[in-house]
Amino acid sequence: MPQISVNGLDAYYGDEGTGIPVVLGHSSAASSGQWRDLIKRMSGRYRLVAPDHIGYGRTAAYSGDIPLMEHEIAIVEALVRLISQPVHMVGHSFGGAVLARVAVRKPEQVRSLTLFEPALFYLLAASGRLSEHAEIKAVADRVIRYIGENDADEAARTFTEYWVGLGAYDAMDPRSRETVRTSIAKLPVEWPTGFEPYEATVEALSGFKMPIQLIGVHGRQPPQGPSQTCCAASG
């Protein structure tokens, strides 16, 4: 995988296909490998650039030298400069939150913005969805507390079951469970970024001129997952 150095950190990214460029931002506890099937399907028509966000895949862990979200934004901005033309942006969850903030800062570089359940939780409070905001904040606090107590299993179980459903973590094969246990180490610094705008205020987001598509999952059973929380935040 190619890499780019931004603020002293080497960020790795996939770069496949030819055509109009698309930047792909993956979710928490994942990597650019999340987009593997999409890249296979679309690389004949598009250039697909998929970074490993900080602490995931091959990109190094967060150093704490600058605020996490500022560093994530800077990496994507550097990739867009490297591409040297406006891009389509497609982001899921945490990756969607990063790309939305890049679009606020560099709207002229974004052809379109597609967000799948972006982790912009602060919008819940801003839109009066106080109970939903309290719900996701409580889950975040609980996961972060478990990580601080070195209870990686309970942290990973709480994280996975909130997004996927009851029993999802225990139903995973041991290798997948270990991947989640390892990946969630970043959440104590990553999840709080979902509760601050970093310039992506309601006013800024409502001022977008590029085509936008918001995608959510509906019809899940309680406990509530991202279909209710993230889509409410996006809307």
Domain limits, the chain: 3-120+196-234, 125-189
Predicted confidence at residue 141, as pLDDT, reads: 98
Show the 3-state SS of 94-117.
HHHHHHHHHHHHCHHHEEEEEEEC
Give the tens place of pLDDT for each residue, 119-138: 999 999 999 999 999 999 99
Give the tens place of pLDDT for each residue, 63-120: 999 999 999 999 999 999 999 999 999 999 999 999 999 999 999 999 999 999 999 9
Smallest CA-to-CA distance from 119 within 3, 234, 1 is with 234
Predicted confidence at residue 216, as pLDDT, reads: 84
Fold of 3-120+196-234: Rossmann fold (3.40.50)
Q: Which is more confidently placed, 190 or 226?
A: 190
Q: What integer is the mean pLDDT of 11-23?
A: 97
Predicted confidence at residue 160, as pLDDT, reads: 95
Predicted confidence at residue 184, as pLDDT, reads: 92
Q: How far is it, in rounded angstroms, from Cα 17 to Cα 11?
A: 20
Give the tens place of pLDDT for each residue, 165-177: 999 999 999 999 9
Mean pLDDT of the chain: 91
What's the CA dihedral at 34, 108, 78, 202 to 10 degrees? Answer: -60
Residue 220 has pLDDT above 60, yes or no: no
Q: What integer is the mean pLDDT of 36-54?
A: 97
Helix 130-148 to helix 152-164 angle, to the nearest 10 degrees? 150
